[in-house]
């Protein structure tokens, strides 16, 4: 079988999720290219070695530039914070590597566009990992919309609500620093909602937004601080939170639908509430990541007096990806979206057709997110150019 060597850059939460997918995808999916876990790259050599040993990465390297230079690397998987996405992705593309990149795409839309252009120029497959597109329930919604089951779409109501930064003692991690994260909740989670809205409803024409940073100063993180955890040894020194905790947007889609977005890490009780409702002329769908194996569906075609939202358990072999997993009605989990993404990425390389969302989608998503910020700052509606 054809193989390709993969290099992963980053070894934290996403490094783990991606490694798991690279390692196991071929057990469940008939991949056209077998990925070989060649080299893992991160700055701290000691923890990197443990990471590589655990997941079976053959080699380690602490300098990502050296990884890119290697002739024996075919695929570069980027799992580091957003500020590094553009430099790595552009270098990798120029070196002819296919690029699998975590979201959000970059610090801003210019970077995103540059990434896309580099990839296009180099003719490499470029994938942006907005993984929720590949939840079976979400893809089922897409199939239903494409089949006309919802008719003309009138409303998108989406939100992505979490609560992990509510504690004022939660430290000022990189997610709150502009030069590393680019955006706050807007980039971290609203980008997922915008990706889903574009995927399911269509392009966005205009945006009105409002933003808030509820807690303006936080303790600087200690040495051990990591993603989503407060770390050990927080400093007593305070630093300025540079990015938004929450953003709301109202949008108009090009097809005339109205849309609303809310992203916040200050929604107590919500842990990973990536939620949307889509209402059309013939039907509606509702989805919620916290119950990711379910899709709610309303069909106007149901009998008089018998209409209502149905809860479809999306674990049937007829549902996207599910024939690869377990018998009907056996739930999959969060991690499996990554297997789906890796599978489709490998197919996209093999077929030469690429895979979506790609860096250009990332560019368009970022344009929407930036319009949200600009609107919030200028207190007026922003048309997407």
Per the structure block, which two tokens stand in for 295? Answer: 């899709």
CA–CA distance from 318 to each of 26, 150, 155 (Å)? 20, 19, 27
Figure out which of the listed residues 71, 169, 223, 327 binds a copy of itself, where binding follows CB under 8 A.
327
Residues 193-232, interacting with a copy of itself (CB under 8 A): 206, 208-210, 212, 214, 227-229
- Minimum CB distance to a copy of itself smaller for 238 or for 329: 329
Tell me which residue has tokens 């980053």. 10
Segment interacting with a copy of itself, rule: CB under 8 A, options 93-101, 151-159, 171-179, 352-360: 151-159
Does 266 bind a copy of itself (CB under 8 A)? Our answer is yes
Q: Least Å distance between CB 359 and a copy of itself?
A: 25
Per the structure block, which two tokens stand in for 91? Answer: 């270098």
Tell me if 237 sits within 8 A of 217, measured CB to CB.
no
Residues 328-367, interacting with a copy of itself (CB under 8 A): 328-336
- Minimum CB distance to a copy of itself smaller for 13 or for 174: 13
- Minimum CB distance to a copy of itself smaller for 237 or for 385: 385
- Minimum CB distance to a copy of itself smaller for 235 or for 272: 272
Q: Which is nearest to 360 in space by CA: 185, 122, 105?
A: 105
Cα pseudo-dihedral 368, 369, 374, 380, rounded to 10: 60
Does 280 bind a copy of itself (CB under 8 A)? Our answer is yes
Does 269 bind a copy of itself (CB under 8 A)? Our answer is yes
Q: 3-class SS at 16?
A: helix
* Spatial separation of the C-alpha atoms in residues 81 and 299, rounded to whole Å: 42
Figure out which of the listed residues 100, 132, 279, 345 binds a copy of itself, where binding follows CB under 8 A.
279
Radius of gyration of the chain, Cα coordinates, nearest whole angstrom: 21
Figure out which of the listed residues 94, 142, 157, 205 binds a copy of itself, where binding follows CB under 8 A.
157
Does 3 bind a copy of itself (CB under 8 A)? Our answer is no
Q: Least Å distance between CB 173 and a copy of itself?
A: 13
Figure out which of the listed residues 8, 25, 33, 55 binds a copy of itself, where binding follows CB under 8 A.
55
Per the structure block, which two tokens stand in for 158? Answer: 């989406």
Does 248 bind a copy of itself (CB under 8 A)? Our answer is yes
Does 54 bind a copy of itself (CB under 8 A)? Our answer is yes
Does 95 bind a copy of itself (CB under 8 A)? Our answer is no
Does 267 bind a copy of itself (CB under 8 A)? Our answer is yes
- Minimum CB distance to a copy of itself smaller for 223 or for 268: 268
Residue 294-323 contact track with a copy of itself, rule CB under 8 A, x = bound = --xxxxx-x-xxxxxxxxxx-xx-xx----
Give the CA diameter of the chain: 66
- Minimum CB distance to a copy of itself smaller for 233 or for 305: 305
Per the structure block, which two tokens stand in for 151? Answer: 């008719």
Whether residue 104 has a cis bond before it, omega within 30° of 0: yes
Tell me if 49 sits within 8 A of 60, measured CB to CB.
yes
- Minimum CB distance to a copy of itself smaller for 238 or for 271: 271
- Minimum CB distance to a copy of itself smaller for 32 or for 94: 32
Residues 23-52, interacting with a copy of itself (CB under 8 A): 23-24, 26-27
Q: Which is nearest to 102 in space by CA: 182, 44, 164?
A: 182
* Spatial separation of the C-alpha atoms in residues 300 and 294, rounded to whole Å: 20
Q: What stretches of 145-257 adopt beta strand conformation (E)? A: 153-161, 204-212, 217-219, 238-240, 246-253
Per the structure block, which two tokens stand in for 325? Answer: 């997993």
Q: Least Å distance between CB 51 and a copy of itself?
A: 10
Tell me if 372 sits within 8 A of 247, measured CB to CB.
yes
């Amino acid at each position: 079988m054809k193989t390709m060597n993969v290099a992963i850059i980053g070894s934290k939460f996403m490094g783990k999720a991606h490694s798991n997918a690279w390692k196991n995808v071929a057990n469940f999916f008939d991949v056209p290219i077998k990925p070989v876990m060649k080299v893992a790259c991160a700055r701290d050599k000691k923890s990197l070695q443990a990471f590589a040993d655990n997941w079976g990465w053959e080699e380690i390297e602490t300098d990502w530039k050296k990884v890119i230079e290697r002739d024996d690397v075919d695929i570069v998987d980027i799992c580091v914070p957003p500020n590094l996405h553009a430099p790595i992705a552009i270098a990798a593309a120029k070196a002819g590597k296919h690029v699998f990149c975590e979201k959000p795409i970059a610090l801003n839309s210019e970077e995103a566009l540059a990434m896309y252009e580099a990839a296009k120029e180099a003719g490499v497959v470029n994938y942006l990992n907005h993984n929720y597109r590949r939840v079976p329930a979400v893809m089922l919604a897409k199939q239903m919309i494409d089949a006309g089951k919802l008719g003309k779409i009138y409303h998108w109501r989406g939100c992505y609500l979490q609560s992990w930064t509510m504690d004022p003692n939660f430290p000022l991690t990189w997610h709150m620093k502009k030069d590393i994260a680019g955006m706050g909740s807007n980039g971290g989670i609203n980008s997922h909602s915008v990706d889903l809205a574009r995927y399911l409803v269509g392009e966005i024409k205009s945006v009105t937004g409002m933003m808030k940073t509820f807690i303006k100063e936080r303790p600087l993180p200690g040495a051990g601080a990591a993603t989503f955890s407060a770390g050990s040894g927080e400093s007593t020194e305070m630093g300025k939170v540079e990015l938004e905790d929450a953003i709301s947007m109202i949008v108009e889609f090009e097809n005339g639908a109205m849309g609303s977005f809310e992203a916040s890490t200050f929604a107590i009780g919500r842990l990973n509430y990536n939620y949307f409702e889509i209402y059309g002329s013939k039907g509606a769908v509702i989805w919620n990541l916290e119950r990711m194996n379910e899709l709610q569906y309303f069909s106007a075609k149901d009998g008089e007096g018998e209409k209502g939202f149905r809860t479809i358990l999306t674990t049937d072999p007829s549902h996207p990806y599910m024939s690869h997993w377990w018998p009907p009605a056996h739930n999959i989990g969060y991690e499996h979206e990554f297997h789906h993404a890796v599978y489709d990425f490998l197919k996209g390389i093999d077929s030469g057709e690429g895979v979506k969302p790609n860096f250009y989608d990332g560019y368009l998503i970022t344009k929407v997110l930036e319009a949200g910020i600009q609107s919030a700052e200028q207190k007026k509606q922003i048309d997407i150019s």
